[in-house]
Amino acid sequence: MTKLNIGIILGSTRQGRVSPQVGEWVKGIAEQRGDANYEIVDIADFNLPFLGTTDGTEPGIAAWNQKLASLDGFVFVVQEYNHSITGALKNALDFAREAWNDKAAGIISYGSTGGARAAEHLRGILGELKIADVRTHPTLSLFTDFENGSVFKPAELHLTNVNTMLDEVNAWSGALKPLR
């Protein structure tokens, strides 16, 4: 059977962000499973404009949609900004529609309270985009999973949760395939 393609989407774009460290850690765990093709998808690479401020012909917009269309499911690496997701992630979510539809997603978040508030906001948005968000949600603490809030040192206990989330993302991404 052909392996599914799962994108690990980095939700932050600011200079000095920690999301690449988290994304690489998830990818390392995921690749050991051998059950799907996993890749990091960095919003920053696409140079998306702010939605509505241009004529929409920037090549990054088409490239973003093509990348999403090539994926069967997603893992969102979510950080909490003012109790919600980043503006960059919301903008990137808004820049596609069909390419998101009938796929599954897991969320791994971080913040002072594990990024839980941002993750719950994201769940509401995913419903509108017809993305099925799985239950298991690893939450990382800025205080105990990062040194000085900047060097990622995840506690061992998160490993089980990440694998359970990936089990669910793979199962649902495959189950939704006939709809795509």
Ligand X SMILES: Cc1cc2nc3c(=O)[nH]c(=O)nc-3n(C[C@H](O)[C@H](O)[C@H](O)COP(=O)(O)O)c2cc1C
**Nearest approach, Cβ of 179 to ligand X (angstroms)?**
32
Q: From CA 66, how far away is CA 70, in angstroms rounded?
A: 6
The residue range among 55-63, 64-72, 79-87, 93-101 that interacts with ligand X, by the rule CB under 6 A, is 79-87
**Nearest approach, Cβ of 70 to ligand X (angstroms)?**
24
**Nearest approach, Cβ of 172 to ligand X (angstroms)?**
26
Residue from 3, 33, 83, 180 in contact with ligand X (CB under 6 A)? 83
Q: From CA 49, how far away is CA 34, in angstroms rounded?
A: 35
**Tokens standing for residue 39:** 């890749």
In single-letter form, the type of residue at position 58 comes to: E
Q: Is 18 in the site for ligand X (CB under 6 A)?
A: yes
Q: From CA 154, how far away is CA 25, in angstroms rounded?
A: 9
Half-sphere exposure in the Cβ direction for 37 (13 Å, CA):
9
**Nearest approach, Cβ of 113 to ligand X (angstroms)?**
6
Nearer to ligand X, 36 or 162 (CB): 162
Nearer to ligand X, 54 or 112 (CB): 112
Nearer to ligand X, 23 or 106 (CB): 23
Q: Is 82 in the site for ligand X (CB under 6 A)?
A: yes
**Tokens standing for residue 98:** 């069909």
Find all residues with CB under 8 Å of 40, minimum gap 6, and list them: 7, 8, 10, 20, 23, 24, 27
Binding site for ligand X (CB under 6 A): 12, 14, 17-19, 79-83, 111-113, 142
